[in-house]
Amino acid sequence: MGEKRIRAEYESVAVSTRMRLARNFKDYPFPGRLLSDPHAAEQSGEMIRLLSAALAGVEDFTLYEMESIPEETAARLKERYLISRELMRNRKISAALISRDESISVMINEEDHLRVQYFMKGYDLHRAYERIAGIDDIISDSIPFAYDEKLGYLTACPTNLGTGLRASVMLFLPALARRGRMKRIIPTLTRLGLTVRGVFGEGSGAEGDLFQISNEITLGLDEEELLFGVEQAVSIIVETELLERGRMKAEEGIELKDKIFRSYGILSSCCRLKEKEFSARISDLKLGTVLGYMGREGSMSELDQLAIAMRPASIRALAGCELGEEEGAIFRAEYVAKKIKEMGLLS
């Protein structure tokens, strides 16, 4: 019981884990060169077939060939972090294999031949690493990778050389972000070879108080060392955030509670809601949930799902058409009010 509570507390900060491997096929030109190759289509077709065959036994994957899928589908996959902008740019040769539950995404001919990504809710670097290493093994059984004894896995960009592994943890840091603590934390982490960035936008200004921490260096460390580095940093940030939440609650008290409940009132009643305001207010509700002011088991996850559902391409899909800014704000307000009421956060 105690351990479960500690885990729940930990995961109120470290909300999800993402693991990514960069790999290249030994026998094909790297994507940057492949793009201008006269036989590009033929070769990328071959690679896609090879990979599909290799993964056939693992899970039920859906193949998205970037050249033939609608823009709108691509936008939605990108919004859900299943494909990248770069994959969309390379559409003449690129594709993605995505598992039914969207936990595994393999991008073909992004910056590298393969970008294998595994995503899981909650915080567990080792489980996530085991899962992705398993997939890596299966692929490498049938496809020889570009590998150098000294450098390790070869990649298009030197930052990915070596293990080709990037471990990322999504952090919900309302107390640190709102109380101006991130500007001191970020440089410290950078010195430790880690990157922290706000989830929307490249700067440190995160909407929704969400930050992603990941290792910057993949060369010169083995996988265990690399994961250990991320784990250390996450545990420090989690403790700092939990401490700061306590301070925040003690120092800001009713003022903070009032802000959170006003956001609840506005989200459940308003008629127009812009994206930026929505992000800020949904973060207030998540903060209210982690501080015990509202919600129950499962509320955090429901709020996160709502946040994902309210990204632009997802709204277009729900509305069934393109919406202008004003129409989007009206649609968002109506949808959010309905969902928030259904969640029964105050009951």
Identified binder of its own copies from the candidate list 257, 309, 314, 319, rule CB under 8 A: 257
Closer by beta carbon to its own copies, 61 or else 293: 293
Identified binder of its own copies from the candidate list 140, 190, 269, 305, rule CB under 8 A: 269
Q: In 10 A of CB 134, how many CB atoms?
A: 12
Query: Do 115 and 153 touch, CB atoms closer than 8 A?
Result: no
Closer by beta carbon to its own copies, 42 or else 326: 326
Q: Of 24-32, 78-86, 182-190, 266-274, which segment contacts its own copies by CB under 8 A?
A: 266-274
Task: For residue 305, give both structure tokens.
Answer: 């799902």
111 Cβ partners below 8 Å, 6+ apart?
Answer: 22, 31, 32, 86, 155, 156, 157
CB of 284 to its own copies, least distance (A): 11
Residues 308-347 that bind its own copies (CB under 8 A): 326, 330, 333
Please report whether residue 266 would count as binding its own copies according to CB under 8 A: yes
Closer by beta carbon to its own copies, 127 or else 257: 257
- Integer Cα distance of 211 and 228 in angstroms: 19
CB of 250 to its own copies, least distance (A): 16
CB of 341 to its own copies, least distance (A): 11
- Integer Cα distance of 117 and 110 in angstroms: 12
Please report whether residue 255 would count as binding its own copies according to CB under 8 A: yes
- Integer Cα distance of 182 and 198 in angstroms: 10
Closer by beta carbon to its own copies, 237 or else 260: 260
CB of 319 to its own copies, least distance (A): 16
Closest CA to 331 of 282, 266, 270, 284: 270
Query: Do 339 and 332 touch, CB atoms closer than 8 A?
Result: no
Residue 189: what are its φ and ψ, rounded to 5°?
-65, -40
Locate all alpha helices (DSSP H) within the chain, ordered by sequence.
2-11, 31-34, 40-55, 71-79, 85-89, 125-142, 174-178, 182-191, 223-267, 275-290, 299-309, 312-319, 325-343
Q: Of 117-125, 164-172, 205-213, 251-259, which segment contacts its own copies by CB under 8 A?
A: 251-259
DSSP-derived secondary structure letter, 154: -
How many chain residues touch its own copies (CB under 8 A)? 18
The CA–CA distances, whole Å, from 126 to 49, 101, 223, 233, 245 equal: 30, 20, 10, 15, 27
CB of 13 to its own copies, least distance (A): 25
Identified binder of its own copies from the candidate list 40, 107, 267, 306, rule CB under 8 A: 267
Identified binder of its own copies from the candidate list 265, 308, 322, 342, rule CB under 8 A: 265
Residues 56-75 that bind its own copies (CB under 8 A): none
The per-residue DSSP string of 46-98 comes to HHHHHHHHHHTTTS-EEEEETTTS-HHHHHHHHHTTSS-HHHHHTTTT-EEEE
Identified binder of its own copies from the candidate list 100, 272, 296, 338, rule CB under 8 A: 272
Identified binder of its own copies from the candidate list 264, 282, 283, 332, rule CB under 8 A: 264
Please report whether residue 303 would count as binding its own copies according to CB under 8 A: no
Identified binder of its own copies from the candidate list 103, 212, 235, 268, rule CB under 8 A: 268
Identified binder of its own copies from the candidate list 10, 30, 145, 261, rule CB under 8 A: 261
Please report whether residue 306 would count as binding its own copies according to CB under 8 A: no
Residues at the site binding its own copies, with contacts judged by CB under 8 A: 254-255, 257-258, 261-262, 264-272, 326, 330, 333
